[in-house]
């Protein structure tokens, strides 16, 4: 981003991209959604594709994305964002299309859409926010909830015998031939933020190649759902979430 000199003589080194609206973020303190929104729109702004980008957001905290992203946005039914994004991309193959989904959406009610979208190799970017809980609807257990993790529907902790194991859906879809680029990132630190932005840049760039689906999991925190302060939730993220969901590229293009 180019620097500029303001009227009071100070050098501007950081400013809101035009691709974000003037609506203040309303997310809970410490939530990762606002950071991911910012990064997505920074990349769109820097690539100069604001008028060529279409985002799809379904039910959950993701649904608010259209309040903040100054691009064409389409709301989808719960779990169906990748199916809607598929239709948009097929009608407008020259557009940059992405879905923005949470774990309760993408890895629960939307599991079938997720798997078949990637299996077909749809030329879209799927952004998957994994905070291991249903953040909007009351803190219920999600498919990605950790073993022994306490939620409103697992008050004694998740039990594998009764409730099954956490689903590592990113590793699952990476096995599909239609997956072109699959990575797991986070926004818990400044270096992590930079890595996620780079992954987003790559993913939009890959759409020009029409080689398959780009999939980015963002392991994020939910201080409200986890009943923690933002600082505590970041620590829990590092100590509990990352061992189960390790960061890094899972599948990268061979050519």
Q: pLDDT tens across 235-246, in order?
A: 999 999 999 999
The percent of residues above 70 in pLDDT, for the chain, comes to 97
Q: Which two tokens stand for residue 19?
A: 């691709």
Helix boundaries (H) for the chain: 33-47, 81-91, 103-104, 111-119, 160-163, 169-174, 190-207, 223-226, 230-236, 242-244
The confidence score (pLDDT) of residue 8 equals 73
Whether 10 maps to a domain, the answer reads: no
In whole numbers, what is the pLDDT of the chain averaged over residues? 93
Whether 3 maps to a domain, the answer reads: no
Range of the domain at 74: 27-251
Strand pairing category for 11-12 and 125-130: unpaired
Whether 75 maps to a domain, the answer reads: yes
Whether 157 maps to a domain, the answer reads: yes
The structural domain count of the chain equals: 1
Please tell me which residue, 10 or 26, carries the higher pLDDT value.
Answer: 26
pLDDT digits (tens, 9 = 90+) for 73-106: 999 999 999 999 999 999 999 999 999 999 989 9
- Output the domain CATH number for residue 103: 3.40.50.970
Binning pLDDT at 50, 70 and 90, where does residue 1 land? very low
Q: Are 215 and 81 in contact (CB under 8 A)?
A: no
Whether 13 maps to a domain, the answer reads: no
Q: Which two tokens stand for residue 58?
A: 């379904």
Whether 168 maps to a domain, the answer reads: yes
Whether 140 maps to a domain, the answer reads: yes
Whether 78 maps to a domain, the answer reads: yes
The confidence score (pLDDT) of residue 4 equals 54
């Amino acid at each position: 981003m180019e620097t500029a000199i303001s009227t009071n003589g100070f050098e501007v080194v950081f400013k809101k991209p035009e691709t974000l609206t003037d609506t203040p973020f309303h997310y809970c303190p410490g939530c990762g959604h606002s950071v991911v929104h910012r990064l997505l729109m920074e990349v769109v702004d820097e690539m100069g594709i604001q008028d060529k980008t279409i985002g799809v957001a379904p039910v959950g905290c993701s649904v608010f994305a259209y309040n903040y992203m100054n691009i064409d946005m389409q709301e989808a039914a719960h779990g169906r964002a990748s199916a809607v994004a598929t239709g948009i991309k097929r009608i407008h193959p020259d557009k940059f299309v992405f879905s923005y989904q949470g774990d309760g959406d993408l890895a629960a009610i939307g599991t079938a859409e997720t798997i078949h979208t990637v299996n077909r190799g749809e030329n879209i970017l799927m952004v998957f926010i994994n905070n291991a809980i249903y953040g909007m609807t009351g803190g219920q257990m999600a498919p990605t909830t950790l073993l022994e993790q306490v939620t409103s529907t697992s008050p004694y902790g998740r039990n594998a015998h009764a409730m099954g194991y956490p689903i590592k859906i990113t590793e699952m879809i990476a096995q599909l031939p239609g997956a072109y680029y699959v990575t797991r990132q986070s926004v818990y630190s400044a270096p992590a933020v930079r890595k996620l932005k780079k992954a987003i840049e790559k993913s939009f760039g890959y759409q020009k190649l029409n080689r398959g689906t780009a999939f980015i999991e963002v392991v994020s925190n939910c201080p409200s759902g986890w009943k923690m302060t933002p600082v505590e939730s970041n620590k829990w993220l590092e100590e509990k979430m990352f061992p189960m969901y390790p960061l890094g590229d899972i599948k990268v293009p061979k050519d």
